[in-house]
Amino acid sequence: MGRKINSNSRTSLAFASFRRNRMGMICLWGLVILYAMAIFADFVSPYSYKDEERNFSYCPPTRIEFRDQGKWAAPFVYHYALTFDAMHRRVYVVDRSQKYPLHFFKGGRLWGVDAPGRFYWWGADARGRDLFSRIWYGARISLSIGLLGVGISFMLGLLIGGLAGFYGGWVDSVLMRICEMFMMLPGFYLMLALRAAVPENFNSVQVYFSVVVILAFIGWASLARIIRGMALSLRERDFVLAAKTMGVPDVVIIFKHILPQTISYSMATLMLTVSSYILAEAGLSVVGLGIQDPVPSWGNLLSDAMSIVPVLFAPWILLPGLFIFIAVMCFNVVGDALRDAFDPMFNE
């Protein structure tokens, strides 16, 4: 009778059911790829996020060429020359007289070209910064802010929901009324108000953490209510009564016997909350209250696309929006899949 036989626990059954969910698995892999790209942003992107070249403002995506004068060649790019058309609009003309070979694994970066050539796979922004690079550096901020914010919200939610659910009575009433006060306020306006309270002269790291704290501050209440509901039912379980008859202190009962049981179920809610935090950060940054340029986040990258003219002439600056969409969708689908997986009725 080895310990391996008994692996059919609720959790492992749920994960087996999750693995059968095709959309869930695809989106889980999508998230893994997004996070991997964010972690290795220094490596996968050809430029640093603040590397700018004013002569390449809104340079269109660079085509990677494989054929040189009718023959196969190692990948290279042509020079893009800035000129103005009859309407005095900026246009880029491919200058075939100047070629720059694409080099790989040079200077700790996956790919790039030597100066004065520039390589903009997904185009450039107003200041001639590479959008491809900035999207992955921005992913670091956008994807981590959601996780960090949810981490803090979850701790608060566990603590307050656990206390309210375990003790019930007036403790429960007071804590839940406080939660409801937070849930009553419209989230986005509360966020704007809180952001207004943060000093203007904060540096980017301080802004980052203040955004995390603001997000966590707004979101903990709904998590606390969910945990409280589970704690209310768990405290009626025999093993909680048994622990009480043994004189185990309440704190130990809450943290060892009640909260660990809630985690598998609250995973799904956590995933859905991460996506709402990513959106909230983007919302803050789009209106210029989140992460400040030159540090990129998906939100403030998208704020370049707020006016119609750049979007008309440089549609690629909408790309960060696509990534926000992908990330939020993946988190939502994975969250739904996890919820289905943990729902015993659904499995039958």
Note the residues at the interface with other proteins (CB under 8 A): 1, 3, 6, 168-169, 237-239, 241-249, 252, 256-257, 260-261
Three-state DSSP class for residue 170: helix
Cα–Cα distance, 178 to 220 (Å, whole number): 11
| Residue 177 Cβ vs other proteins, minimum distance, rounded to whole Å | 20
| Residue 6 Cβ vs other proteins, minimum distance, rounded to whole Å | 6
Residues in the chain: 348
Residue 103 pairs with which residues in a beta bridge? 112
CA distances from 212 to 42, 145, 147, 215 (A): 23, 6, 9, 5
| Residue 246 Cβ vs other proteins, minimum distance, rounded to whole Å | 4
| Residue 163 Cβ vs other proteins, minimum distance, rounded to whole Å | 16
Residue (185 or 242) nearer to other proteins, CB: 242
| Residue 12 Cβ vs other proteins, minimum distance, rounded to whole Å | 13
Residue (95 or 250) nearer to other proteins, CB: 250
Cα–Cα distance, 64 to 74 (Å, whole number): 10
Residue (70 or 247) nearer to other proteins, CB: 247
Residue (234 or 305) nearer to other proteins, CB: 234
Q: Which one-letter DSSP state was computed for residue 269?
A: H
* DSSP string of 84-115, one letter each residue: E-TT--EEEEEEEEEEEE-EEEETTEEEE--T
Residue (69 or 245) nearer to other proteins, CB: 245
Helix (H) or strand (E) holding 240: helix 238-245
Residue (7 or 347) nearer to other proteins, CB: 7
| Residue 244 Cβ vs other proteins, minimum distance, rounded to whole Å | 5
Single-letter amino acid, residue 191: M
Cα–Cα distance, 229 to 236 (Å, whole number): 12
Cα–Cα distance, 236 to 234 (Å, whole number): 5
| Residue 11 Cβ vs other proteins, minimum distance, rounded to whole Å | 10
For the chain, state the CA radius of gyration.
25
